[in-house]
Structure 1
Amino acid sequence: MNCLKRIIILSFLLSPIHGYSIEIRGEAIQANDSYEYKIRNKKPLELEAPYCIGDPSWIDSPTLPQEPTKTRKSDINCSFMQFAWQSFAYYTSDKTSDFFMDMMPKDRIFKEIPDSWDNKGDQGLVQTEVLQAGSNFPLNDQEGNPVFYQQSVNKKFYYDIVKHGLNNSQCVADIDSGKTPFDISPGSTEVKTSWKLMSNHDNPKQFFTIHRDVEIDGAVKSNVLMGLVGIHIVRKTKNHPEFIWTTFEHKGNAPDCADVPDLSNFKKSGKWTFFNPMSFQKVNTYFPGKPTQVCRKTPYGVGILTKPEVAKDIKALNEAMSHYYQTRNSVWSNYFLVGASWTVSSGSVKIGEVPPTWKNEIGGSKLLSNSTMETYVQNPQWFVLVHPKKDRGCFACHKYDPLTKKALHLSHMFNAAQDYGQCLPLRLDFEPKN
């Protein structure tokens, strides 16, 4: 009998379920080991990821990386995370000609006659978009105000859309049917941002801020101060037709869900933009008219089956880049990389496979989400294990059926195309001049 008990206990210890439980606990510990904690305790960066480091030249002399670059196989994940940070530093720098606030917003493109490119971005527009993709719910901050969203594209993507008349749903249909050959050009970039209204409880110096007119409950408020709380930067490269999906957040947005049970008092937890530790309201759930309680289900997009170096590389880069920005007194020191996703063909070295589906191994942050943009549709850490044949992360929504659609539908912007009649010939007069 004692022998049988020993066999049962040994079988349990060696079982996959027990192994996964250990891994879940390990991920929770890993998620709690924030870069702020490491900085306070002066934990050496080299202990985390000695080869995955940032570069201050990305800030001082910003250049846009064309592809993730690696020096050896073990650098694959790091190279994509470095690509994400270098792209962020480039697009958020006013030293470049591609400043993200100068990009053309969706509302100025998807109308009968698109606006001409003028580097004015969304200036002059009334901000109205408050519903999140995937859930169609707004995100309310602790003052009860909704977060606002904006989608914009760089000049290359803009000219692709306008030249081919893709503001017209009939032109989109011609591409989907194969009548018109088209593919989004490498170098095209889409940026999606999330903004909160600054209140007396916020320190505007800790946010990248703008002044805009906003519409709330049918009433327009003028010249409102807004702070950036999240930003997606999605780039198509020659080697990645599925786009490389990266996302960043403000450090003060919300805690990790794994930390929530330990936030016993306000002083211990600090102040969060979208989380009140004194509230008993269910997290990541929309309640009309009430502030939303937000926490991150999958910090850095990691799950049970995610490679351990993913979170290590991201945290190491975040620590380095935060330090570089702090020494330059830059507001961008208050933002961090959540993660990056791309596709990798299972069983081969091929990368950048389309269409992205559960059959593709998602590289990097397999369960990537931004707590301010996908608040209500975050996948839990065990999702890939329990649902191995379901799309997840960014590619749970950004996908298409190759039998009826083309790859342009990886972007949801084309859902805004309207029927303006028969698709006209190419607008050659919209060729970019540079």
Structure 2
Amino acid sequence: MKKNFPIKAMVLSLASLSFMSCRDTYNKLPQDVKPICELTDAEFDSWFKSGTNTENGIVTPANSVDFVHDNNCDFYKWSERMFLWMTSKEGNQTVFESPEFYTVSPKVNGKRELIPHKQGQLLRAYANVDKTSRIVTEEGQATDDVLMDANGELVYYISMVNDVYAEFLNAVNQKKMSGSTFPTTKAERDSIFNFAKNNGVVLKNPNTLAIEIKTSWVDVSKVKNQEDFVTIDAMVPVYNKVSDKLWIIKGERQTKLALVGMHIVGSTNGHPEMVWATFEHQKNTPNAAYSYLTKDDKVKNVPADTGNNWLFNTNLSDDPNQSHMTFSGDSIKAKEGYKITPSNTVRTKPWGSAINTPPNPEDKSVAAANSEILAINNAVLSRLKGKDVRKNYLFIGATWTANGTAPNGNSYNPSIDSLKIAGVAIGTSQLANSTMETYIQNGEEYNYQGSCFLCHSNNGLKPDDLSHIYNGLLKGLSAPPQRVGQKVVKK
């Protein structure tokens, strides 16, 4: 496991302390940020199915086939729209609960399954262990650690893919497509669409291309202000708490879960390496200090967050991001010197940038890079109407490679990559989600291993080079695939 760098101590002014203590929301975004990434009202309206911005209104997905990628902001807008689409509620369920998505099962004997989403059938979430397979599920933390919220409730995870991804798999499995890369072109979209249609399925949103998501959840029963969270009913594991150092899985139960994090990974025009974006609830964790550009181009420093009522932190003086327990088979075991207890988490790189190195060649400073993320957050959150639940989620950042080149696992460093950047992660290339990469955030300073592509690369662009689930799913398709998509109506 990679060691975290210590968080730098900061001295706050009395004015800052007063401001922080009286605010009514966590991670309150500065409003004087230079509007580097902006939206017009008309553009935002066009994201909504009705053509008009409405409270909790249904958003349509970004068009990945016609995706224009002139600058960083194009990727950030794609990410924001995809999140708003997936968390839109159609009837009594969110889009990702609908038949347009499939849950990815844990791996058993090298194989995974796509579990269709059916009306009335609850999703299953995992806390890194699975009673059936007795092996690592790879569904949760990027490491073998187990995360708890401040209430002592486990964090659960669900991985999913969309129907385009599923039908792409089916087509590759039946040798109707080569599968050399994830789909990125109109021709590949049409091949997948026609393949599915010939098998009795009409893809609802084929222009989304292939999407993987990973979501993180906590039991909502002890969460304050439950109305501020996207929630689902789900099945989760139950543990026999043998001691404060050992829990063993013994069954499952139904509960209501609150969404605390989401990775969105999708192929787009020109980018077979996929765009890797992540979102978190604003109450998750305190931010370390960061800087941004104001509207008059001055650098402004934001002190580290204060307070002790975060979902994943109750003691800011504690050494943060120290794992207390891991999973092994069907058990959760405390690490030496710890009990099975919550740890205190800090988001060390709040907007996907190190404090000392710009994360991409487009931004000449860390402050400028942070400003892009802050600006697009402000542009979206300020436009969401009324008590739209999506107001409570923050876009942390997104990463990709220059010109869609095969990732080499490294993160952009201007002193090394200013002329030749093929293969290095750009965008917010020091990206981590505090609920999924909690213990490998690599501190505040630049780390060449700070990119998503450290683990999601094999110096190639084949789906199996990038995805941890693709090969297992392909192996699991030896039997005729199940389909629950919209049926073709023959006239």
TM-score by length of 2: 0.64
SS in 2 for 1:87: helix
- 8 Å Cα contact 1:159-1:430 kept in structure 2: no
Partner of 2:87: 92
Matched, 1:235 2:269: no
State the alpha-carbon separation in 1 of the partners of residues 28 and 396 from structure 2. 20
Partner of 2:105: 107
- From the superposition, tell whether residues 354 and 181 of structure 1 become closer, same or farther in structure 2 (CA, over 3 Å): same
Deviations, residues 69-96 of structure 1 (Å, cap 9, x unaligned): 36xx6xx112211111112122222359
2:344 paired residue among 272, 276, 293? 293
Question: Alpha carbon RMSD of aligned pairs, Å?
Answer: 4.2
- 8 Å Cα contact 1:150-1:194 kept in structure 2: yes
Partner of 2:38: 52
Partner of 1:130: 128
Equivalent runs, 1:24-423 vs 2, <5 Å: 43-44=31-32, 47-50=33-36, 52-53=38-39, 55-57=43-45, 58-59=47-48, 61=51, 62-67=59-64, 68-69=67-68, 76-94=71-89, 99-102=95-98, 103-107=101-105, 117=116, 120=119, 123-130=121-128, 132-165=140-173, 182-186=180-184, 187-217=209-239, 218-258=249-289, 269=307, 271-277=309-315, 280=318, 282-287=320-325, 288=334, 289-303=340-354, 304-306=356-358, 307=363, 308=365, 309-325=368-384, 327-344=385-402, 351-358=403-410, 360-384=423-447, 387=448, 391-402=449-460, 406-414=462-470, 416-417=472-473
- From the superposition, tell whether residues 220 and 99 of structure 1 become closer, same or farther in structure 2 (CA, over 3 Å): same
Shift of 1:39: 11
State the alpha-carbon separation in 2 of the partners of residues 182 and 41 from structure 1. 42
State the alpha-carbon separation in 2 of the partners of residues 92 and 125 from structure 1. 15
State the alpha-carbon separation in 1 of the partners of residues 255 and 311 from structure 2. 18
- 8 Å Cα contact 2:97-2:117 kept in structure 1: no
- From the superposition, tell whether residues 379 and 165 of structure 1 become closer, same or farther in structure 2 (CA, over 3 Å): same
Partner of 2:137: none
State the alpha-carbon separation in 2 of the partners of residues 86 and 237 from structure 1. 14
State the alpha-carbon separation in 2 of the partners of residues 280 and 184 from structure 1. 43
- 8 Å Cα contact 1:114-1:162 kept in structure 2: no
- 8 Å Cα contact 1:379-1:393 kept in structure 2: no
State the alpha-carbon separation in 1 of the partners of residues 224 and 485 from structure 2. 44
Structure 1: gaps spanning 5 or more residues? 1-23, 345-350
- 8 Å Cα contact 1:185-1:236 kept in structure 2: yes
- 8 Å Cα contact 1:127-1:212 kept in structure 2: yes
State the alpha-carbon separation in 1 of the partners of residues 227 and 483 from structure 2. 43
- 8 Å Cα contact 1:164-1:427 kept in structure 2: no
Higher helix share: 1
Deviations, residues 261-310 of structure 1 (Å, cap 9, x unaligned): 966xxxx5152000012663543433430102111111110122223432
SS in 2 for 1:398: coil
Identical-pair percentage: 25
Partner of 1:16: none
- 8 Å Cα contact 1:284-1:295 kept in structure 2: no
Higher strand share: 2
SS in 1 for 2:378: helix
